Amino acid sequence: MSTNQTLENLRVSYSDETFDITDCQGDPMAQFDKWLEHAIETKCDEPNAFVLSTIEDNRPHARVVLLKGFHQKEFVFYTNYQSAKAANIASNANVAMTFLWLPLQRQVRVEGTISKVSDDISEEYFHKRPRGSQLGAMASPQSSKVSGREELEKLFKDAEAKYEGLEVPRPAHWGGYRINPSYIEFWQGRNNRLHDRICCVRKGSSWELHRLAP
């Protein structure tokens, strides 16, 4: 059987849960927090992983990053400010997030605008990271071309030697971003592909909820 035939025949029946508009909290951030807690409690792999989609020169770009907190009802993650994703963000502040928790047959889509968090927030989180992660952030020229693994290992070892016995300072090129959502959609898998989709659209300081056809 060819790969195409295999793909055509792949079928999963989604029937574990239901999700009606009456089940969705009026504050979608509270609803997201509830679903995320469930994903953590049920030990979904990397429950805080999401696909971050950005735009630069009318071209979409996507990669998986890790959610690391909420600040004032905004989604926060951390990265290198000199990376490719940072260049995309500088070009266009409109972004999208996609969370997928397959064991729970759930997906959440988020659309909004992105900006940097304060230096204080970045500083506080950086010093909570494992030392190896701190050194990696210091050493890696993220998204730049390198000659091979050996170059990366040398950069890391150089940083390790430089800060031996010292606190690793947060690099100026590393910090957090916050995403202010304007659209959040909750998707619950159902039988016969008649999935439950509840979208929340920001209207000023409040949210409007709607059911969407699958």
Active site residue 197: no
Q: What is the DSSP letter of 213?
A: -
Q: Which residues contact 47 (CB under 8 A, 6 or more apart)?
A: 36, 39, 40, 101
Of 63, 149, 170, 193, which one is the catalytic site residue? 193
Element (H, E) at 28: helix 28-41
| CA–CA dist 112, 96 (Å, integer) | 6
Distance CA 92, CA 54 (A): 8
Quote the tokens at residue 209.
Answer: 């909820």
Structure tokens at 104: 């729970």
8 Å CB contact between 106 and 189: yes
- Torsion sign over Cα 180, 182, 187, 192: negative
Task: Say how far apart CA 101 and CA 40 lie, in whole Å.
Answer: 10
For 185, residues 6+ apart whose C-beta sits below 8 A from its C-beta are 108, 109, 110, 197, 198, 199, 200, 212
- Residues with a catalytic annotation lie at 193
